[in-house]
Amino acid sequence: MTDLLLHHATLFDSEAGRLVPDAAVHVRDDRVVAAGRADDVPVPADAVRVDLGGGYLLPGLLNLHTHLSISLPGAAGDRVEAMGPHELALYMASGAERTLLAGVTTVRCVAEKSGADFALRAAIEAGEVRGPRVFTAGRALCCTGGHGAGSPDTLECDGADSFRRGVRSQVALGADLVKVMVSGGIAGEHEQISTPQLTDDELAAVISTAHDWGRKVTAHAGPAAVIARAVALGLDCVEHGYQLTPEVAAQMAAAGTALVPTLVVTRCGAFFDELGVPAWMQARSLGAADQHAASYRMALEAGVEVLLGSDMPPFWDFEGTSATVRELEHMAVLGAPAGMTPARALQAATIAPARWLGAEDRVGVVAPGRFADLVLVDEDPTADVAALRTLRWVMKGGRVVRDDSTDLTRRAR
């Protein structure tokens, strides 16, 4: 066994939402043995001591809206769509490693191509590929011609029986959750955000079948009326929620339905330009920004649990930081009038998504028995989440995977 003592740091206690000064963390192999004030953390005499230089130590970030095989309309998306299975696997493996190096130690994939996510998850767990811990929905379920149709990251179904089979097919492959497209979105040329796409029978079939198999359901959903129908049928999570109303937000809060707002997707013109995304999609996306922000604030005011998810690749270099950090900045700034503090935003990136996944006994908090998944930043993230832009060190499962103090390339940036 290898014992490490991480010391000379301030620790963010994600459960309490507060800082622990003069903290230490005892790590043995891949797990945390003890964490707290340094004087309260007993450590074996032969432990290797790691001086963290007075930084701020947090649980590794969780990103709950990830597509490592994303292919939006445009030239870059066309290239991904044209990849064969071997090239796609390598492409996703590269994205997984870059995600981990960006401080995201756990992801929830919510539509990936051709089952490659299951192979990637297995390779990461076997130590053959560096990447975050992966929870995946496999292929998302949609109706014929619905949102995402025509790509191998969706499975087209029609009718309640077909959707039941769709759920079972992804569970049989090893899906941790189920993703369903219940409305139109910003990336569908022949639909609108407000277009409803499933009947109540189809929705009920997805949700009840998934729950029977012990899986939660998250839904790509924009309009309030469609979300209200899905929440009434037991939906566990809403992705985007572009067009909420106070009444539907209150319904979500009462039902315990979470929201992954993905605010960055209506604020990413430069990303779209980089990918060659067509003008019609850019107009629809960027034109939805104000209503999207208002809907997010409605959810906060109603008491809905909000969770971090970028939709953009988590590692993407965007506006001076990663897409994950940029999303968290939007959550903090746009949510401030509705009570979103920096500490609460950090919880939305750590313990809250871990609880949704049922994985709080493994990730999302620095506490005994949890995986030693940790990130270090130079500035106080409870004062401003933009402090995550100073990230300089990442540990996953007790192994340091990024240390800018020994990486001349990163120190030069």
Instruction: Write the CA distances from 184 to 191, 284, 413, integer angstroms.
Output: 6, 12, 40
In the chain, where the domains are located? 3-60+365-411, 61-356
At position 133, the amino acid (one-letter code) is R
If pLDDT is split at 50, 70 and 90, which confidence band does 338 have?
A: very high
Closest CA to 115 of 134, 93, 132, 138: 138
The Cα–Cα gap between 136 and 1 comes to: 31
CB distance 23 to 10 below 8 Å: yes
Which of 378, 367, 370, 362 lies closest to 411 in space, CA to CA?
Answer: 378
As a CATH number, domain 3-60+365-411 is 2.30.40.10
The pLDDT score that the predictor gives to residue 241 is 97
222-231 confidence digits (pLDDT tens): 999 999 999 9
CATH for 61-356 is 3.20.20.140
pLDDT at residue 408 in the model: 58
Q: Give the model confidence (pLDDT) of 119-169 as tens digits.
A: 999 999 999 999 999 999 999 999 999 998 989 999 999 999 999 999 999
Q: Is the pLDDT of residue 410 over 70?
A: no
pLDDT at 10 over 60: yes
CA-based nearest residue to 68, from 44, 46, 95, 89: 95
Over residues 368-390, the pLDDT tens digits come to 999 999 999 999 999 999 999 99
Q: How far apart are CA 7 and CA 50, in angstroms?
A: 6
Nearest Cα neighbor of 306 from 266, 256, 267, 268 is 256
Looking at per-residue pLDDT, the higher value among 256 and 409 belongs to 256
pLDDT > 90: percent of the chain: 93
Decide if 356 contacts 1 (C-beta within 8 A): no
SS3 349: coil
pTM: 0.96
* pLDDT surpasses 60 at 409: no
The DSSP call for residue 196 is B
pLDDT for 250 equals 98
